[in-house]
Amino acid sequence: MKNIKVKLAGRSYPIYIGAGAFDIALADFAKLASERRRVFCIADPAVLKAHPQKAERLGKVTEIIAVPGGEKTKSVAMFGRLCSELAGKRADRKSAITAFGGGVVGDLAGFVSASYMRGVNFYQIPTTLLAMVDSSVGGKTGVNIAEGKNLVGAFHQPRAVYSDTPFLKSLPKRQFAAGMAEVVKCGILGDAVLFKRLSKFGGGMGFDSPELEWAIARACSLKAKIVAADELESSPEGGRALLNLGHTFGHAIERCAGYGKYLHGEAVSIGTVMAAVLSRRLGLLDDSSVSEIAGVLKGAGLPVSLRKPIPAGDLIDAMRSDKKSVGGALRFVTILSIGSTRTEKVSENTVRRAIADFFKL
């Protein structure tokens, strides 16, 4: 079991990683109950069904509210329904909310926690690899609107995160691989030791790999360090924006291919290879590093090329309208070497050439 601290300006919180994290959650919630504080658990029914014994134990110390799984659940309508349900159940300011599920339930429950009674304590029990290494860390919460994903939300840091890795046993392989994309990304962006270890494995890991807990902890530590230094993503260069490695291209791929065609992690995997190719075109990265990056992602069961080509112009238009783009400029996280990255503006011409390079890989 590993315990990482996210050190914020005002306070810090723990992330427990490994078998046994769930027991710590139950003990913490039981303690809250003993102080007459109610804990509401916003849960993904797929996880309740896949882990009935754990769900039963959770039901003894929390009041479970199941919401349908899937991205559609991250909506303003569901947010409103949950707030009304909490009010109907007479949840008060001392009540707490825990998420029990993947990133969808985590983002939604987090936003409800940030808003209900102007903010109640929030906990996370992430059950997907993506949620364990990415969405449960850092305090970003929110819902989607028709105009775009995650356009409405708030920063609301959890009190604790309990990443109980045995939950991953029931996670479909494709979802597991999508989470690995964020682990590999962390290695490339700031942890060469993590990347080297993944490379030694050829990228592949399963829910029962002895190194998995270590890899999740390395990825979380890196994200925790970056978040601690730039909690609200206000740093003009570097900072939290570094976590977007592969995401400028990745978001454009998701948008151009049509949402749902690629899982987010799959688009990030392809986007990371594109970012590596762009870095090579900028004279920062050599051929062998580009191949190594693509090799590790492929070894993790992730796509490194597009199933169907997308015209460069379409990708560039999508990148200009990304919510993270400022004034339509094309900004990227570029790779100086494995484990070292920076944010920079890149001309449209260079991006076009890099996309052409990528199609020739």
Ligand X SMILES: NC(=O)c1ccc[n+]([C@@H]2O[C@H](COP(=O)([O-])OP(=O)(O)OC[C@H]3O[C@@H](n4cnc5c(N)ncnc54)[C@H](O)[C@@H]3O)[C@@H](O)[C@H]2O)c1
Residue number with CB closer to ligand X (8 or 50): 50
Structure-block tokens of residue 209: 């790999």
Contact flag: residue 64 with ligand X (CB under 6 A) = no
Give yes or no: 264 in active site. yes
Q: Which of 223, 280, 281, 331 is catalytic?
A: 223
Residue number with CB closer to ligand X (54 or 331): 54
Nearest approach, Cβ of residue 283 and ligand X (Å) = 31
Contact flag: residue 109 with ligand X (CB under 6 A) = no
Q: Which of residues 62, 128, 199, 272 is near ligand X by CB under 6 A?
A: 128
In degrees, to the nearest 5, what angle opens at C-alpha 213 toward C-alphas 185 and 142? Answer: 55
Query: What does the DSSP 8-state code read for residue 193?
Result: H
Q: Which of residues 6, 82, 161, 171 is near ligand X by CB under 6 A?
A: 171
End-to-end CA gap in the chain: 41
Contact flag: residue 158 with ligand X (CB under 6 A) = no
Contact flag: residue 71 with ligand X (CB under 6 A) = yes
For 6, 214, 309, 342, the CA distances from 267, given in Å and listed in that order, are: 28, 25, 13, 21
Q: Partners of 345 in the beta sheet?
A: 331
Contact flag: residue 75 with ligand X (CB under 6 A) = no
Q: Which of residues 18, 138, 187, 250 is near ligand X by CB under 6 A?
A: 138
Q: Which of residues 113, 121, 127, 221 is near ligand X by CB under 6 A?
A: 127
Report the DSSP pairing between strands 121-126 and 160-163. parallel
Contact flag: residue 167 with ligand X (CB under 6 A) = yes
Contact flag: residue 101 with ligand X (CB under 6 A) = yes
Nearest approach, Cβ of residue 134 and ligand X (Å) = 4
Q: Where are the alpha helices (DSSP H) in the chain?
A: 21-34, 45-50, 52-61, 76-88, 103-115, 129-130, 173-190, 192-200, 212-229, 247-257, 264-281, 287-299, 312-320, 348-359
Report the DSSP pairing between strands 96-101 and 39-43. parallel
**Distance (Å, whole) CA 126 – CA 93:** 24
Q: Which of 264, 280, 281, 331 is catalytic?
A: 264
Interface residues toward ligand X, by CB under 6 A:
44, 46-47, 50, 69-71, 74, 101-105, 107, 127-128, 130-131, 134-135, 138, 140, 149-150, 167, 170-171, 175
